[in-house]
Structure 1
Amino acid sequence: GIHRDKQLPQFHGETFADWFRKGAPQGSGENGDVVLFNSCFVNYNGPDIGRDVVDVLARNHLRIQLGGVACCGMPALDAADMDFAKTQARKNVEALYPLVEQGLPIAVVNPTCSLMLRREYPELLAIPGEGELTRKATAVAENTYDIAEFVYLKLHREKKLDLAFRSTPGPIAYQVPCHLKMQNIGFRSRDLMRRIPDVKVKLVSECTGHDGTFAMKVEHYDESIEAGQRAFDGMRKADAEIWATDCPMAAIQLEQHAGKKAYHPFQILARAYREDGFPTKIEATE
């Protein structure tokens, strides 16, 4: 069962997908198109994260569409329910592959989901007698990016990233999620946040101990706190008013056991574009 003391994700009356379909802001398409795989957490528990991601992408002249029709399948894989994990993988691959065929990149908000699409789907769907499905899964994997990786490669590296930030958070303590490190793509969220004037990012690479549903369970609750202690200590010692992590479950763990809310890096970027985003204003340059 779930431990009685565990802080749990909140559910919202309006999902991110519902908000998006009602008329989310859109970029001009000047910098291309992108398929956003928003994740279950963003859809049901963190639509504010999704709205800020859309705000950053649209501001940078990207045209956005939602992709994926189902949970990425990681909870099933974590519970050794291989059949359901394969079912979810098949649904998403069949939905995403036609978009990949059109030359569209897939940007994923949650590092757990991007890890699934990139690393697990080609293996889960390497099914004897279904070579075409395996080929599609591989094509989807090869065209999937973590959201910060996508913006870094497609905008920042090409000198197309909008740098007109209007306010700054100052120093940031940034916890790097385990599933992001596994993708070996560098610290792109850190690199993007560094583009905000007066920002110095203190990187904390230790695991917070949440591990999917592990930290929620009665039998593992105390163990998860012990496992995350080095991350909690590292974030506190960073001496930063603003905390960040790409993993929403790590954010919950940090808030409950280290005492401070951690924001998704794109929430920080979105706020920094606004004059009232942070107390410290940035003077506009000619």
Structure 2
Amino acid sequence: MSAPTEGKREGSLEAPTRHPLNWQEADFYDEQDLFAELERVFDICHGCRRCFNLCHAFPTLFDAIDESDTMELDGVPREVYWQVVDHCYLCDMCFATKCPYVPPHEWNIDFPHLMLRAKAVRFRQQGARPRDRLLSATDTVGRLAGIPVVAQMVNLANRLEPVRDLMETAIGVHARAKLPPYQSRTLYRRAGDRQPRAVEPRPAGPTRGKVALFATCYGNYNEPDIGEDLIAVFEHNDIPLRLVGKERCCGMPKLELGDLEAVAEAKAANIPQLLALIEEGWDIVAPVPSCVLMFKQELPLMFPDDADVARVRAHVYDPFEYLMLRHRDGLLKTDFAQPLGTVAYHVACHLRVQNIGLKTRELLELIPDTRVHPIERCSGHDGTYAVKREFHEISMKIGRPVVKRVEQAAADHYGSDCPMAGHQIENGLADGRAPEHPLRLLRLAYGI
């Protein structure tokens, strides 16, 4: 029998809370206990169905129930449960925007964390297929593909239709999925040894006025121009900036795979490095929302008693969040030299769940003669989901409303804080127009 859609809710006026992920406890990996919780939560979801229009996990569950003999969860075979898990890419939007039963509700629903637990159980039992290990090994692949001659060969191969058809057959990477280019001149090769400008840091609000840039795997190996744009914008605003130095992948690709031990290894490498910079007075900024979220939310939930993780969390910022915090104290330069016209701006899911507001839109709207059309829907990319053979077409369907909104805006520019989401939109538009990251747009407006 399905759970009712209405029920007693303790503390219904309280803000949603997130419980720590108890991944280091033995019963976390107990499959019988996992399936009992899956059945409990899926039955409640069946009775509610508010999330039907988010990712494909919910339609998969609801269609299976509706097509079963009983039209209840007890008529759904367990293999469907794993299909639901596969379609969850941990965007967190159901928890953040839709579910009425998140803590402190007595039903205590955290759908993304339940899906993460299922992924972790399966990873511990079965490991991962070679393709998924390859796609999540961002540091290793980036270093190899970033070798000058290798980068040219990889990028050429990714553009050749016969090669892409072979990749789809051999390893399961969809032939029509847009793959990011690899750069031999990575951000660290371009700017790794640069010295911060000799400008006295000016604190404002919680910001201390000097920044260490966590380049991210994507920002280093795939689109280093984003990092260069960030550097130019921050230096224009008299913010001394350096690169972090010995950084590793934040761990988000491994988290999505359910490889929590690999996430812990990345944390063990990154947190001491970031903490040392913070102790020297630097704030940390990263240009990819998923990486910021990793340090702001995922690692603190995995390691709730780790004081170093908590300290890093307090000093990690999205770049537009950082600039707008300084704008409150009059420290953001508004000497814009060029209007942007109309901007179709996709708000990345991993930025929305940070609960910082639409800081990118707020800043771009400071530019004279600039109109920003925010699009708060999922692009369907999720880092690796959109490039997998079995999920690509579904990912494009999820992103279709975003593409339609961009088309309707007839904008002079379009883009997303998440560069991969931007290219997912580009793939849907199929008109040759390339996305422009908001940092690039801001740099254009400054004329620098």
Shorter-chain TM-score above 0.5: yes
- C-alpha distance in 2, partners of 1:151/1:262? 22
Tell me if the contact between 2:367 and 2:445 (Cα under 8 Å) persists in the aligned partners: yes
| Deviations 1:41-67, CA, capped at 9 Å, x for gaps | 110111111101000001110111222
**How do 1:116-131 and structure 2 match up within 5 A?**
116-126=294-304
TM-score, length-scaled by structure 2? 0.58
- C-alpha distance in 1, partners of 2:200/2:293? 27
Percent of aligned pairs with the same amino acid? 34
Higher RCO (CA-CA < 8 Å; seq separation 6+)? 1
Shift of 1:4: 1.1
Higher strand share: 1
Tell me if the contact between 2:187 and 2:224 (Cα under 8 Å) persists in the aligned partners: yes
2:237 is aligned with 1:65? no
C-alpha change, 1:25 and 1:166, in structure 2 (3 Å) is farther
* SS of structure 2 residue aligned to 1:200: strand
- C-alpha distance in 1, partners of 2:330/2:345? 24
Shift of 1:30: 4.3
- C-alpha distance in 1, partners of 2:415/2:220? 20
2:435 is aligned with 1:262? yes
Give the residue type in structure 1 aligned to 2:300.
Answer: P
**How do 1:106-255 and structure 2 match up within 5 A?**
106-126=284-304, 134-154=306-326, 156-255=327-426
| Deviations 1:83-114, CA, capped at 9 Å, x for gaps | 10111012111111122223322111110000
Higher helix share: 2
TM-score, length-scaled by structure 1? 0.90
Shift of 1:258: 1.9
Tell me if the contact between 2:289 and 2:418 (Cα under 8 Å) persists in the aligned partners: yes
Tell me if the contact between 2:252 and 2:290 (Cα under 8 Å) persists in the aligned partners: yes
- C-alpha distance in 2, partners of 1:53/1:13? 20
Ranges in structure 1 where 5+ consecutive residues have no aligned partner = 278-286
2:195 is aligned with 1:41? no
Match of 1:21 in 2: 192
Give the residue type in structure 1 aligned to 2:424.
Answer: Q
Give the residue type in structure 2 aligned to 1:93.
Answer: I
Give the residue type in structure 2 aligned to 1:238.
Answer: A
* SS of structure 2 residue aligned to 1:267: helix
Q: 78, 82, 90: which is aligned to 2:256?
A: 78
| Deviations 1:144-200, CA, capped at 9 Å, x for gaps | 11111011102x111111111111221111000000001000001111111111001
Shift of 1:28: 2.1
- C-alpha distance in 2, partners of 1:249/1:112? 11
Query: Higher Cα Rg: structure 1 or 2?
Result: 2
Shift of 1:213: 0.2
- C-alpha distance in 2, partners of 1:21/1:72? 18
- C-alpha distance in 2, partners of 1:187/1:27? 32
Match of 1:272 in 2: 445
* SS of structure 1 residue aligned to 2:341: coil
- C-alpha distance in 2, partners of 1:109/1:232? 23
C-alpha RMSD of matched pairs (Å): 1.6
Tell me if the contact between 1:25 and 1:54 (Cα under 8 Å) persists in the aligned partners: no
The structure 1 segments of at least 4 consecutive aligned residues displaced by more than 3 Å after TM superposition are 22-27
Ranges in structure 2 where 5+ consecutive residues have no aligned partner = 1-171, 203-208
Size of the aligned set, in residue pairs, is 268
